[in-house]
Amino acid sequence: MGQFGNQPDFATNDIKAIVPSADINTTTFLNASVIYIGDNQTLGTELKVIPAGTVGPSVINGFSSAGYSGSEGTGYANANAVATTGGSGANLTVDITALNGAVQTVVVNVAGTGYLNGDLITITGAGGNAVFRIKATPGLPTAAQAVTFKGLGTGGFLPVTVDYVLTTALSCGALIAAR
């Protein structure tokens, strides 16, 4: 049997009504759902969504040695809020512990922004030669990454799969998610 016009090409047993939310977390995650616009009688309504697969800024989980002899640096002492250079981000500060002048542990003090997994950072001060690799994972998307659809009609499907439906000043009625 063929597909009817204006019908999605998917099979699902997980269909539920959804309520737009300002929260972006595991509770509001829709896992690449198809959105059906039901009872949408208000002209000029809009729907703000975060498309499936959108990732947010990286979250730094830790650091590892750069992998070469001497990468722990020289002349360092235990310190907090030490500035760093390098990598794709800015404003990262770290707390360090040192043994015999070599950095042994590195912990985030202020995460900064824009760093990616694998970035190499250099810890300033002392010999200025302690180099560590950032371990990071993608974070949750932000509202700034949302796409807004305006003038949606009743009885249609949103043209993208979504992970989150955000609240807007004007909201659509009767949204149904299926995955």
- Domain segments of the chain: what residues? 15-55+141-178, 57-139
Q: What is the pLDDT of residue 155?
A: 78
Q: Is the pLDDT of residue 1 over 70?
A: no
Q: What is the pLDDT of residue 169?
A: 52
Between CA 178 and CA 32 the distance in angstroms is: 9
Between CA 3 and CA 15 the distance in angstroms is: 19
Encoded amino acid at 8, one letter: P
pLDDT tens string 134-161: 999 999 999 999 999 887 777 778 889 9
Q: What is the pLDDT of residue 149?
A: 87
Residue 43: band (very low, low, confident or very high) from pLDDT cuts 50, 70, 90: very low
* Residues 45-65: b if buried by 16+ CB within 10 A, e if exposed: bebbbbbbebeebbebeebee
For residues 61-79, average pLDDT: 94
